[in-house]
Structure 1
């Protein structure tokens, strides 16, 4: 019996591959696709779906709208199908509540016929003779595909001094809600990090502080607690034009650019910082300050047990001052790193690499193989070094998926429109200079 070969198999079902699955089903129904996820159901940061928190991007940056606003898988159609469209209209906000975004993605995943949950991929190999990839699963059937998309997402990043030290008292922010009650029952809690997740966790704990009466500390090694760059002209760096420009830079210049684009990628939304400050201010009106400590420029260099508590070894790096900080609980809001599966590492000698950990990728997101094979392995993760600020942006992920669909269909199934910006990134490029 001839084996069934899919045109595309996606590995991992997060928002990136889920959006691709929807675009493939609607835009390329003649191609046979299947998307695999090891979890039994769709999950999107379940440990961080804190009440009153929103996405940092507009509802237009859903799974499909930028490619096809007429799709049945838009967020607006989700609201319509669930009788919530008028309520969202009266809300007068562009941002989606995080919990509702998760429910929207779950609705799309249930609606698609090409998504399979509970399939854990253990290995992927290439058969040059038959021109396809072999996908093996744990206690599952072996599958075959002409092309593969890598959408395995990211995993929590633990600072090197604290690797191997996490436990029920020292957790990453991705597990915050799973430990919420135990955390709030402690006498002293310390949050480490400076991004949006750190701010949301700190604010949630700050709101509940008077009820539970714990000491609350917030440390970051960053120079300050800075606001996310959300200006309209600043946001134009999340555009296909800027990706074109960034991709064309030499590797070292791309690394330098990422370093200076921090405010676009790692800051805190203005409303979150304002909410924190307002709450602190109102509590200080009668000069009755809560036991709160907020300090930047401070790196946590280690942790040790001290009786039933912990001692954090800290350093204020600008002054070179070291000190120890006692605490009962620690929440590491220290971000994420790409999850690159072991089977990619097994392909190391087949791939071109830009650094020890960063593979070479084409502008349309194909891994570069030394044998220039006709069967593509598209990457949806570990792309910051090649595609810049677009790598983890939900809106740009739709643009990325448009490229991938167009490569697979051999035509502009989903046209990628440009010339939408009011700035350019180099003389004579990204559009003609205006005639004065």
Structure 2
């Protein structure tokens, strides 16, 4: 029997696997994709992480690990180049390659393997989980004392766009699919008999929407300055606002704030979370400035901008006569209370992600406790709580499923290594990793 099985291999379970490599814990991690890829659809030119390079897989809990980003640069013979670059934030493509470098060194990982079922398991005095996987067409069952769920979040679209994205994926997509799905040539070819250029709309005002808008803006004009397509950017928010990025604001992404938030009453947690969007959902200030520079440069000689930016625009409905026809969108301006409609050939929506435990856990979720908000109850040790605590000995740890219980730091890469170290301490029953070392200046609670 294994000590732990990890389901899903994003950065958080990869961090756990890398840190476990220095222990005697018997572990396997299963991922249905053929190789590690982190937000592949959003690896665009000039896009960087929104956190410093120290938010790699290991450094914040084990700076001596051979799986650090700096050691990656050393092995790639690029360390001096990075030193001269004098940048804290690294390119998203580089981060993805770094993670692939780590993944290539870990024997505990199994790619192209789908977990199809999980059940509680008790036999010969051993308790845990039976995990059935499909690997290269063959079905096999593994047994482990504990599970760690790292399947990530799923892109979500507004209700009016969901059917459209399914029926016409080339004309309606989430920003997470942009790099792999957006095809301007195909849109132009389908539109060649029209009198006006192709019209493209970006929805949302988060970092991914901003990056898609910037990438499209850069390819909008031909060599003569004429538009190859029209480009608009709408958001239902009151403005295109930056994410909070002051040092004291960033201290919300710390173990101290996690402890503080975890012990708040459940109703208070919901109210606090509703006010914290700009701590982790806004755009980077540098991205906004970068886009504004592009807009300003295009305004020289008062040439047409060929792009409209609108705020307070909430999407009401989306219709399409057939798969080759433009999409007709209806909006309401939330402050003016006015309705308007517009046709677009392609809609790209940066409308966030939703948290959802994977379907393979259906066989065990019936024993999991849920709160009044129908969210799974999660312990401070990142484990799902059971309705009857005496029922099962095996623990189900979760990574990036606990915003409602642990606060805004759940999806943050900078806390990923800390959480993995915390989970490893729980698995070992001893404090191998110092989870008290990441101190901040603030006290978030009363004296």
- Fold-level similarity (TM above 0.5): yes
Residue pair 1:119, 1:140 contacting (<8 A) in 2 also: no
Indicate whether 1:156 and 2:159 are aligned: no
CA distance in 2, matches of 1:415, 1:354: 31
Aligned twin of 1:407: 426
Shift of 1:394: 0.5
From the superposition, tell whether residues 24 and 252 of structure 1 become closer, same or farther in structure 2 (CA, over 3 Å).
same
Indicate whether 1:189 and 2:192 are aligned: no
Indicate whether 1:398 and 2:417 are aligned: yes
Indicate whether 1:381 and 2:400 are aligned: yes
Once the two structures are overlaid, the 10-residue window that deviates more, 109-118 or 210-219, is: 210-219
The number of aligned residues is: 422
From the superposition, tell whether residues 394 and 161 of structure 1 become closer, same or farther in structure 2 (CA, over 3 Å).
same
Shift of 1:399: 1.0
Aligned twin of 1:317: 334
CA distance in 2, matches of 1:133, 1:220: 45
Once the two structures are overlaid, the 10-residue window that deviates more, 284-293 or 225-234, is: 284-293
Give me the TM-score of the superposition, normalised by structure 1. Answer: 0.94
Give me the TM-score of the superposition, normalised by structure 2. Answer: 0.91
Indicate whether 1:171 and 2:173 are aligned: yes
From the superposition, tell whether residues 46 and 254 of structure 1 become closer, same or farther in structure 2 (CA, over 3 Å).
same
Aligned twin of 1:23: 19
Once the two structures are overlaid, the 10-residue window that deviates more, 282-291 or 191-200, is: 282-291
Aligned twin of 1:330: 347
Indicate whether 1:104 and 2:119 are aligned: no
- Decide which of 369, 372, 392 is 2:386's aligned counterpart: 369
Residue pair 1:10, 1:151 contacting (<8 A) in 2 also: yes
Residue pair 2:117, 2:363 contacting (<8 A) in 1 also: no
Shift of 1:223: 1.1
Aligned twin of 2:72: 78
Shift of 1:178: 1.5
- Over aligned residues, Cα RMSD in angstroms? 1.5
Aligned twin of 1:64: 58
Residue pair 2:161, 2:172 contacting (<8 A) in 1 also: no
Shift of 1:269: 0.6
Shift of 1:355: 4.1
Q: Which runs of no fewer than 5 residues in structure 1 stay unpaired?
A: 429-436
Residue pair 2:118, 2:363 contacting (<8 A) in 1 also: no
Shift of 1:374: 2.3
Query: Secondary structure of 1:56's match?
Result: coil
CA distance in 1, matches of 2:277, 2:184: 33
CA distance in 2, matches of 1:197, 1:332: 9
Shift of 1:183: 6.8
CA distance in 1, matches of 2:185, 2:252: 38
CA distance in 1, matches of 2:347, 2:12: 31
Query: Secondary structure of 2:302's match?
Result: coil
Residue pair 1:10, 1:35 contacting (<8 A) in 2 also: yes
Q: Which runs of no fewer than 5 residues in structure 2 stay unpaired?
A: 189-197
CA distance in 2, matches of 1:60, 1:260: 28
Shift of 1:182: 2.3
Residue pair 1:183, 1:189 contacting (<8 A) in 2 also: no
Shift of 1:213: 2.4
- Decide which of 269, 275, 278 is 2:284's aligned counterpart: 269
Shift of 1:326: 1.1
Aligned twin of 1:287: 302
Once the two structures are overlaid, the 10-residue window that deviates more, 132-141 or 217-226, is: 132-141
Per-residue Cα deviation, 1:31-66 (whole angstroms, up to 9, x for no partner) = 211111011111111111001010000000000001
Query: Secondary structure of 1:368's match?
Result: coil
- Decide which of 240, 251, 255 is 1:236's aligned counterpart: 251
